[in-house]
Chains A and B, each alone.
Chain A
Amino acid sequence: MTRATDDVIIRTVARVLIPFIQLFALYVIMHGHHSPGGGFQGGVILGASFILYLLTHGLEEAKARMSEAKAGLFSSFGLLIYSGIGLLCLIMGSNYLDYGKLSGILKVIPAQARSLGILGVEIGVGIAVMAVMFSIFFDITTGGDIPKDEEDLGEGDG
């Protein structure tokens, strides 16, 4: 499963579609308050795009695009954004994740500040979910250890 697929059609169509899948994922994250979606859903789609790349183009190239270390960093980064916004609200003198108080920094009315605050939290959630989905899939396919070369994997159907 971690070899690049032999099928030209699958490989080419996947590489052409992946940017659009990623943009759709970001659209789902950003429009969470207008249409179905939000942070988690967009994060899953974004992670799925990287998983698709791994399935069709093989382990080496997927690792070049998003290594395990980067995935770990991104998951922590997403969490940092989430809790950072909450802490910021705390610092501004109100409850944890009470976005209304952010209107002091952002110079908008409290309702707008709440909208922007939840958007920021959703972005953090999306990043974290993307990284974790990819990490889980990566660990499952490699079984925890990275093969030195592809022949160790034996015969797969590509």
Chain B
Amino acid sequence: MEVTILVQAIDKAFEILEKARSDEKARNEARELLYTSAKFTSETKFLAEKREARALLSGAQQTRLALRNFALTFFLLFAFWVLLSGRFDSFHFILGIICSVLVAYLSHDLLFLNVRLGDFRTRARRFFSAAPWFLSQIFRANLHVAYLALSPRLPVDPQIVRYKTKLESDISWVALANSITLTPGTITVDIREGEFFVHALDRKVAYDLNTGEMEDKIAHVLMEADHVYIQDVLDVSRIFGALK
């Protein structure tokens, strides 16, 4: 959705500028539009801002997004029901369908808040290809912490690392925080204004964290790294302004 908003905003801005090049009001309007859309994609994604951003989508896109969220939520919930119930007769299936539809209707806008249209298959594919890497990281960190714990002089060097992240949406932050916590040796203590406070067991673990590999993997899985860069948008608007 962020890319869609930016592309639509750029199109609209060029439209406005093309219609009235010398009109000061139109230029200001176009500039305002570009800055606003850049702001939406670069600031932290709280729920209210997301709703405002969603209002920038056209009506048909909003409906498609809502339907897509509803359908995906329904399928996930029905799979969960079958897993819980373990009974495959038609009565319980019909009950499951009714319950999944009800819960999906109540809560469909909760689960897939930040996912752009058309993204889901890519994210699922990348998730399954990145999962083995995460498991191997956990395995290696396990060995390292076991070595620390079992050596007689206990060479731990506990420190809290302030880690500034380039990720943007709340799901990415939570995924990174949980991956860090799941990896033995590091625990995410707090997240404040885009900075992670991570408690690391010794310097090697803190160093592994600081290389940023886990963040890159999560950005790849959640398609954060595929964003249009904000600075490019602002440069484009400046260039267009300078061309007149």
Q: Which residues of B contact A24 (CB under 8 A)?
A: 80, 84
Q: Is the interface of B mostly helix, strand, loop or mixed?
A: helix
* A101-153 residues at the B interface, CB under 8 angstroms: none
- Whether, in the assembled complex, B135 has its beta carbon less than 8 Å from a beta carbon of chain A, the answer is no
Q: Which residues of B contact A65 (CB under 8 A)?
A: 106
Q: Check if B77 sits within 8 Å of A19, measured CB to CB.
A: yes
Q: Which residues of A contact B177 (CB under 8 A)?
A: 9
Complex CA gap A75/B99 in Å reads 19
Measured between C-beta atoms, what is the minimum distance from A55 to chain B in Å?
A: 15
Partner of A9 from B110, B113, B191 at Cβ < 8 Å: B191
Q: Count residues of B near A (Cβ-Cβ below 8 Å).
A: 31
Q: Check if A31 sits within 8 Å of B81, measured CB to CB.
A: no
Measured between C-beta atoms, what is the minimum distance from A61 to chain B in Å?
A: 7
Partner of B99 from A13, A16, A23, A61 at Cβ < 8 Å: A23
Q: Which residues of B contact A22 (CB under 8 A)?
A: 103, 106-107
Q: Check if A26 sits within 8 Å of B103, measured CB to CB.
A: yes
Partner of A31 from B85, B104, B106, B188 at Cβ < 8 Å: B85
Complex CA gap A30/B173 in Å reads 36
Complex CA gap A31/B178 in Å reads 33
Known: A16-B111, A18-B107. A23 touches B77 (CB 8 A): yes
Measured between C-beta atoms, what is the minimum distance from A106 to chain B in Å?
A: 13
- Whether, in the assembled complex, B143 has its beta carbon less than 8 Å from a beta carbon of chain A, the answer is no
Complex CA gap A15/B47 in Å reads 11
Q: Which residues of A contact B41 (CB under 8 A)?
A: none
* A14-42 residues at the B interface, CB under 8 angstroms: 15-16, 18-20, 22-24, 26-27, 30-31, 34
Q: Check if A12 sits within 8 Å of B95, measured CB to CB.
A: no
Q: Check if B80 sits within 8 Å of A23, measured CB to CB.
A: yes
* B49-78 residues at the A interface, CB under 8 angstroms: 73, 76-77
Partner of B170 from A11, A26, A30 at Cβ < 8 Å: A11
Q: Check if B107 sits within 8 Å of A34, measured CB to CB.
A: no
Q: Would you give 14 A-B contacts (Cβ < 8 Å), ordered by A?
A: A8-B191, A9-B177, A9-B191, A12-B171, A16-B110, A19-B73, A19-B106, A19-B108, A19-B111, A20-B77, A22-B107, A23-B80, A26-B99, A30-B92
Extra contacts, 11 of them, besides A15-B111, A27-B84, A30-B92 (Cβ < 8 A), are A9-B178, A12-B173, A15-B110, A16-B110, A18-B107, A19-B103, A19-B106, A22-B106, A23-B77, A24-B80, A61-B47
